[in-house]
């Protein structure tokens, strides 16, 4: 806990009335720097702090989409809490008379967003230089600028997250400094299971907002499982009419129309989050088989399933009808997904033998490739002959049971560290516990380079934290499990190992609790964190 430093002021009045003793008044101190993920390098500079004033402006060339997105995101955070106009202008000459205040009201300071071809920081890196009169964020791309904006947001006092003018939570200062930052991994993901319980587009957007704040750039959406089919397929309306109105525990379920899905993609893209769709197959597919009993290979006719066992269902790998249906599904989803990936699940198949499974994965892989996407599958797919571009998503133990093809790309999602649906402790009401208890330190204190064995010559392209929704019915419950573990994983994926220590992280994280209170984000008050 940082107590305000007390400053001794000997005012002129005190000097003239020399009998009086000096008085002490508290002065607000800038908060300790608590940026998550911790930047690659941050050097405090001598000189005055930067302050946002009523005359401040955001300077950006909004004719380019990257600067427009970053500037819009910045203004959306700063305007409500500061109560200032904060116009977005191409240069200072173009500030309208509307924001000119009496000259003595304040200094004009600016936040400048610049794209520079030679920033040398890759597609997502940025530099941030805060000085007396300006903060300048420079990046090669809109993504880098957007990430820099999230850093600036976290450098400001936590009151900046308030939805209403919060003048007493200022002053809105940033210490003079220079940050140079870029991510360790290109794939920094979160997975949301909208199949076991359905989440509305508004709820998914709330989740995307959290991803964006912590520089996560992938939202993998688990769109179908035994309990529900959640995406409209225009050539097969029966998949949703019969497969969507159900969920775990017997709730109403629901699904995204293709236009809902497009809305999510746009919302995510504005925040530099890529949506990766998953249709889980050949198991986890009961919801689709309800309308296609002919594809269940003579097993008992599928009915609505609202419990949480896994592995029992399978779409028949020996029926051509299976591939006709899946071709339509993959074609439609590929067409509405800008990301170059399609996740086909592939996990926990109990109802097929190894030959059937391998045949199925091979056929589906060629369909995915036909529609121009790279296939991703849970680690079980590595048991089959995969195309070199296919990505394996590790999830089970601390070592990959099946070697991934040499040079093949792997995403780490090990349940013992990254599963957000594991309980924090024995006392956590929500969540499951098959992979153990994952309190915040478990999620944070590991190194992707060494934690998982058996990866052979595979290349780890990043990390992804899945949130399975068997036990959670709404975004408030989702946030309880995700926060604060998701920011922990975000730092694992972004920051250099040499910059990360648990002791430092837990102190930085504590400050974020106050941001979440203002943002209306629910979280678990882990006893490991000095809130």
> Shortest approach of ligand TNX to residue 346 CB, angstroms?
8
Distance between CA 439 and CA 432 in Å, rounded? 13
Three-state SS for 319-381 is CHHHHHHHHHHHHHHHHCCCCCEEEEECCCCCCCCHHHHHHHHHHHHHHHHHCCCEEEEEHHH
Binding mask 361-400 for ligand TNX (x = CB under 6 A): -----------------x----------------x-----
| Alpha-carbon dihedral sign for residues 245, 250, 252, 256 | negative
What is the three-class DSSP state of 7?
A: strand
Applying CB under 6 A, does 347 fall inside the site for ligand TNX?
yes
| 310 vs 451, beta carbon nearer ligand TNX | 310
Its sign, for the CA torsion 347, 477, 156, 116, is positive
Q: Which is nearer to ligand TNX, 229 or 419 (CB)?
A: 419
Q: Is residue 523 a contact residue for ligand TNX (CB under 6 A)?
A: no
Q: Judged by CB under 6 A, does residue 310 bind ligand TNX?
A: yes
Comparing CB distances to ligand TNX, the nearer of 208 and 435 is: 435
Least gap, CB of 416 to ligand TNX (angstroms)? 11
Q: Are 224 and 244 in contact (CB under 8 A)?
A: no
Note whether 305 binds ligand TNX by CB under 6 A: no
Q: Provide the minimum distance between the beta carbon of 432 and ligand TNX in the complex, in angstroms, as a whole number.
A: 5
Question: 310 or 510: whose CB is closer to ligand TNX?
Answer: 310
Place of tokens 């850093």: 151
Task: Kindly tell me which residue out of 140, 146, 444, 468 binds ligand TNX, with binding defined by CB under 6 A.
Answer: 468
CA distance 381 to 402: 9
| 14 binds ligand TNX per the rule CB under 6 A | no
Across 182-308, where does the E strand assignment appear? 187-193, 218-222, 224-225, 228-229, 274-281
Integer CA distances (angstroms), 126 to 109, 149, 160, in order: 21, 10, 22
Binding residue for ligand TNX, selected from 209, 263, 294, 348, defined by CB under 6 A: 348
CB 56 within 8 A of CB 108: yes
Site track 403-422 with ligand TNX (rule: CB under 6 A), x = hit: ----------------x-x-
Binding mask 426-465 for ligand TNX (x = CB under 6 A): ------x---------------------------------
Contact 445, 426 (CB under 8 A): no
Based on CB atoms, which residue is closest to ligand TNX, 136 or 411? Answer: 411
* Interaction site with ligand TNX (CB under 6 A): 310, 347-348, 378, 395, 419, 421, 432, 468, 470
């Amino acid at each position: 806990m940082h107590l305000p430093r007390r400053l001794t002021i000997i005012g002129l009045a005190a000097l003239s009335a020399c009998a009086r003793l000096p008085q002490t008044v508290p002065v607000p101190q800038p908060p300790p720097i608590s940026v998550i993920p911790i930047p690659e390098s941050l050097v405090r500079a001598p000189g005055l702090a930067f302050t946002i004033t009523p005359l401040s402006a955001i300077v950006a060339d909004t004719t380019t989409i990257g600067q427009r997105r970053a500037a819009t995101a910045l203004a959306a955070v700063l305007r409500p809490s500061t109560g200032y106009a904060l116009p977005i202008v191409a240069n200072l000459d173009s500030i309208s008379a509307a924001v000119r205040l009496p000259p003595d009201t304040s200094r004009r300071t600016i936040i400048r967003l610049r794209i520079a071809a030679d920033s040398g920081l890759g597609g997502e890196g940025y530099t941030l230089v805060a000085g007396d009169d300006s903060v300048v964020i420079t990046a090669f791309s809109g993504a880098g600028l957007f990430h820099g904006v999230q850093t600036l947001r976290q450098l400001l006092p936590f009151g900046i997250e308030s939805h209403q003018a919060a003048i007493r939570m200022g002053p809105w200062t940033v210490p003079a400094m220079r940050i140079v930052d870029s991510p360790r991994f290109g794939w920094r993901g979160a997975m949301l299971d909208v199949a076991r319980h359905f989440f509305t587009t508004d709820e998914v957007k709330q989740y995307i907002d959290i991803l964006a704040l912590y520089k996560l750039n992938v939202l993998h959406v688990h769109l179908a499982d035994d309990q529900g089919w959640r995406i409209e397929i225009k050539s097969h309306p029966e998949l949703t009419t019969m497969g969507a109105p159900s969920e775990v525990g017997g709730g109403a379920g629901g699904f995204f129309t293709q236009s809902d899905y497009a809305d999510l993609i746009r919302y995510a893209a504005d925040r530099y989050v890529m949506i990766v769709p998953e249709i889980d197959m050949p198991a986890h597919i009961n919801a689709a088989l309800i309308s296609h009993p002919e594809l269940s290979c003579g097993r008992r006719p599928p009915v609505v399933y609202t419990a949480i066992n896994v592995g029992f269902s399978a779409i028949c790998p020996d029926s051509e009808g299976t591939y006709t249906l899946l071709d339509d599904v993959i074609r439609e989803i590929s067409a509405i997904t800008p990301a170059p990936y399609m996740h086909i699940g592939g996990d926990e198949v109990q109802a097929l033998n190894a030959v059937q499974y391998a045949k199925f994965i091979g056929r589906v892989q060629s369909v995915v490739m036909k529609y121009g996407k790279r296939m991703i599958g849970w680690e079980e797919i590595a048991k089959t002959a995969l195309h070199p571009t296919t990505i394996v998503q590790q999830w089970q133990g601390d070592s990959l049971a099946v070697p991934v093809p040499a040079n093949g790309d792997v995403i780490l999602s090990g349940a013992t560290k990254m599963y957000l649906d594991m309980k924090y402790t024995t006392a956590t009401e929500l969540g499951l516990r098959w992979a153990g208890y994952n309190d915040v330190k478990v999620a944070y204190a590991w190194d992707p380079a060494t934690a998982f064995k058996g990866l052979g010559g595979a290349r780890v392209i990043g990390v992804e934290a899945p949130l399975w929704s068997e036990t959670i019915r709404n975004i408030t419950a989702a946030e309880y499990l995700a926060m604060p573990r998701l920011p922990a994983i975000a730092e694992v994926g972004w920051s250099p190992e040499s910059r990360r220590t648990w002791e430092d992280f837990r102190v930085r994280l504590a400050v974020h609790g106050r941001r979440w209170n203002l943002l209306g984000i629910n979280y678990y008050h882990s006893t490991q964190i000095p809130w």
